[in-house]
């Protein structure tokens, strides 16, 4: 098969926080995979920048070890690793200090794309943006990539946007949400807007409800004190689940370009109705044989922070009138699974006598652990025995068609390549982030005002019983969480 990898333009990518967990676990192994695929130009360079004193050789050794620890089959490619490491450099810089900036400026080349990945705590974003300008390292063409969390409420997100805007135009700012880099998320748009089949049915006339689940088996061990300040709403719903909801619910953009797509997503967020307290269930996992309780993990015996959240919401527009969106996410659940399910309405009338089962078409989009899509359709059970109906999944995953040499890039790889290409479609715009906080803030403030106590749930389950009731009350049920 002819390679479909199109090399990006030559670049200098500076990773602030280049020695951190995210850089070692995701960003650099991902860049190595893109290097191996032939997508990086021969002269492309990656410059790690962090506080530790280190030279290029020390940094290359650190990344060699990171690839050995976090890479998959590419870690066997010794020659490839050596060639990739040649592309790496390191500068010791303290975001709050003055040392190292001149060295960085001297290292940067003219005539190549300049990108700066802020893989550091958000409290350093402002200082980095300011110093990049002060030292004339960034210009009007440079790009910056910022990690989550983007604020912890509307006020802090606005402040962060304002700080970045002092030095960078919105067209230069890439706010990353790695869910948007997943192959299946883009496939969702291809399915909706590249087929005549689905769009006519994509509305309240044919869709009964939508479920979005992001379930994790891990708890918050090791990062409990950090997590305890955010909780599932801030950590998952305001960003990842909200983005998935937008892609499912948005109107067809007139073109597939960054601002047109993001305009449509923004309209969805703005049309979200306020959520009433009885439409939300918060939970906290209990201790089990496999691990401590949430409160032990968080080292906070009186914590009221949620490790699980389920809620029902509505989008106030013509397309989605009266169609509930149920979303849930949690830690220490029974399986690691992320899925969007579009559940179509029951048949109005069945011509098949004796068939009393409820047959429903369900489009299921899986994001984790494996990416894929299937459409549940009703067919005749094969063989003799009359007209017996059975529901079967129609597999709509085309990964096999890509062939063994065409492994899809992971989310971080794809998004970093988009930064170099200058394509912002899969990144959140500042007004989207603010609108998402404007919707979540009153919900969180309501919990705080009421001293809302999360319901306990057994680890390894689908969350608290009340979350089941949230759907049962409406005569519906959650889909099983399967790994
Ligand atoms: P980390 O603590 O492992 O690494 C932080 C990095 O920042 C280190 O390289 C450190 O040297 C550098 N640093 C700290 N203070 C600095 C300063 N004053 N000047 C220059 N460099 C400094 O953190 P991480 O897990 O890699 O996360 C980085 C960012 O990415 C955070 O904003 C985090 O919220 C976000 N993030 C991380 C993950 C993840 O899986 N680790 C996932 C999503 C988002």
Residue 167 falls inside a structural domain: no
218 lines ligand 1 (CB under 6 A): no
* Last residue in a domain, options 103, 129, 147: 147
Q: Are residues 322 and 384 in the same domain?
A: yes
Its domain, for residue 69, covers: 11-147
Q: Which atom of ligand 1 is nearest to the CA of 178?
A: 43
Which of 16, 20, 66, 118 best tests ligand 1's pocket when mutated (most atoms within 8 Å of CB)?
Answer: 20
For residues 74 and 134, give the distance between their C-alpha atoms in angstroms, rounded to a whole number.
39
Residue whose token pair is 């309405």 = 345
- As a whole number of Å, the CA-based R_g of the chain is 24
Asked whether residue 250 is domain-assigned, the answer is yes
Together in a domain, 331 and 405 = yes
CATH number for the domain that contains residue 375: 3.30.360.10
**Three-state SS annotation for 120-135:** CCHHHHHHHHHHHHHC
- 428 strand-pairing partners: 175
Same domain? For 288 and 214 the reply is yes
Are 192 and 141 in a shared domain? Answer: no
We report the CATH number of the domain holding residue 130 as: 3.40.50.720
pLDDT tops 60 at residue 450:
yes
Tens digits of residue pLDDT in 241-278: 999 999 999 999 999 999 999 999 999 999 999 999 99
Contact 421, 410 (CB under 8 A): no
Residue 133 is among the residues annotated as catalytic for this protein: no
Between 111 and 400, where is the model more confident?
111
Ligand 1, atom 6: nearest CA belongs to which residue? 17
Name the DSSP letter for residue 182: S
Region label for 51, one of left (φ > 0), alpha (ψ between -120 and 50) or beta (otherwise):
alpha
**Per-residue pLDDT reduced to its tens digit, 380-394:** 988 888 888 899 999
Residue 354 Cα to ligand 1 midpoint, Å, equals 61
Q: Considering its fold, how many domains does the chain have in total?
A: 2
276, 371: one domain: yes
Q: Which of 133, 205, 240, 472 is catalytic?
A: 240
Q: pLDDT at residue 1 above 50?
A: no
Give the residue-averaged pLDDT of 136-158: 96
| Sign for the pseudo-dihedral over CA of 70, 75, 80, 83 | positive
Burial class, 197, CB count within 10 angstroms (exposed 0-12 / middle 13-18 / buried 19+): exposed
Q: Which atom of ligand 1 is nearest to the CA of 118?
A: 29
List helix spans (H) across 71-195: 78-85, 101-107, 125-134, 154-167, 183-193
**Pair 94, 236 in one domain:** no
Cα of 125 from ligand 1 centre, angstroms: 11
- Averaged pLDDT, 18-42: 96
Residue 405's pLDDT is what?
Answer: 53
- Can you tell me the distance from the alpha carbon of 233 to that of 305, in angstroms, rounded to the nearest whole number? 9
Residue where a domain stops, chosen among 129, 147, 165:
147
Domain check: are 218 and 276 in the same one?
Answer: yes
Residue 397, annotated ligand binder?
A: no
Q: Is the pLDDT of residue 3 over 60?
A: no
Q: How confident is the model at residue 410 (pLDDT cuts 50, 70, 90)?
A: confident
Ligand 1 center–CA 120 separation, angstroms: 4
């Amino acid at each position: 098969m002819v390679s479909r990898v199109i090399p990006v333009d030559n670049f200098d990518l500076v990773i602030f926080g280049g020695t951190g967990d995210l850089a070692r676990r995701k960003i650099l192994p991902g860049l190595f995979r893109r290097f191996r695929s032939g997508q990086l130009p021969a002269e492309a360079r990656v410059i790690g920048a962090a506080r530790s004193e280190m030279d290029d050789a020390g940094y290359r050794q650190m990344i060699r070890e990171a690839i050995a620890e976090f890479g998959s089959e590419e870690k066997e490619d010794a020659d490839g690793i050596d060639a990739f490491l040649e592309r790496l450099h390191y500068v010791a810089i303290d975001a709050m200090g003055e040392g190292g900036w001149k060295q960085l400026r001297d290292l940067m080349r003219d005539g190549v794309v300049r990108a700066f990945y802020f893989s550091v705590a958000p409290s350093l974003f402002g200082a980095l943006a300011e110093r990049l300008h002060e030292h004339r390292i960034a210009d009007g063409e440079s790009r910056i990539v910022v990690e989550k969390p983007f604020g912890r409420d509307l006020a802090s997100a606005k402040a962060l946007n304002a700080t970045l805007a002092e030095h960078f135009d919105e067209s230069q700012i890439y706010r990353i949400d790695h869910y948007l880099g997943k192959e299946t998320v883009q496939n969702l748009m291809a399915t909706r807007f590249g087929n005549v089949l689905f769009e006519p049915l994509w509305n309240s006339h044919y869709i009964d409800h939508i479920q979005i689940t992001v379930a994790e088996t891990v708890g918050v061990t090791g990062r409990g004190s950090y997590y305890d300040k955010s909780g599932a709403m801030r950590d998952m719903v305001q960003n990842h689940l909200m983005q998935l909801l937008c892609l499912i619910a948005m109107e067809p953009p007139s073109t597939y370009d960054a601002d047109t797509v993001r305009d449509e997503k923004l309209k969805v967020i703005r049309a979200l109705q306020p959520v009433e307290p009885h439409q939300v269930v918060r939970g906290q996992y209990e201790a089990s044989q496999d691990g401590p309780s949430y409160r032990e993990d968080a080292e906070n015996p009186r914590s009221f922070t949620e490790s699980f959240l389920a809620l029902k919401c509505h989008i106030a527009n013509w397309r989605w009138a009266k169609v509930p969106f149920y979303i849930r996410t949690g830690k220490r659940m029974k399986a690691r699974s992320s899925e969007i399910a579009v559940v179509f309405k029951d048949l109005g009338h069945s011509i098949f006598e004796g068939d009393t089962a409820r047959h429903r078409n369900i489009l299921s989009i899986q994001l984790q652990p494996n990416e894929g899509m299937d459409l549940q359709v009703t067919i005749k059970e094969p063989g003799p025995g009359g007209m017996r109906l059975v529901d079967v999944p129609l597999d709509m995953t085309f990964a096999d068609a890509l062939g063994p040499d065409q492994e899809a890039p992971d989310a971080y790889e794809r998004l970093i390549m988009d930064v170099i290409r200058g394509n912002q479609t899969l990144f959140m715009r500042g007004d989207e982030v603010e609108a998402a906080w404007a919707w979540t803030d009153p919900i969180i403030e309501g919990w705080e005002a009421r001293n809302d106590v999360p319901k306990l749930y057994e680890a390894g389950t689908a969350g608290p019983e009340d979350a089941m009731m949230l759907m049962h009350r409406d005569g519906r049920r959650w889909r099983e969480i399967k790994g």
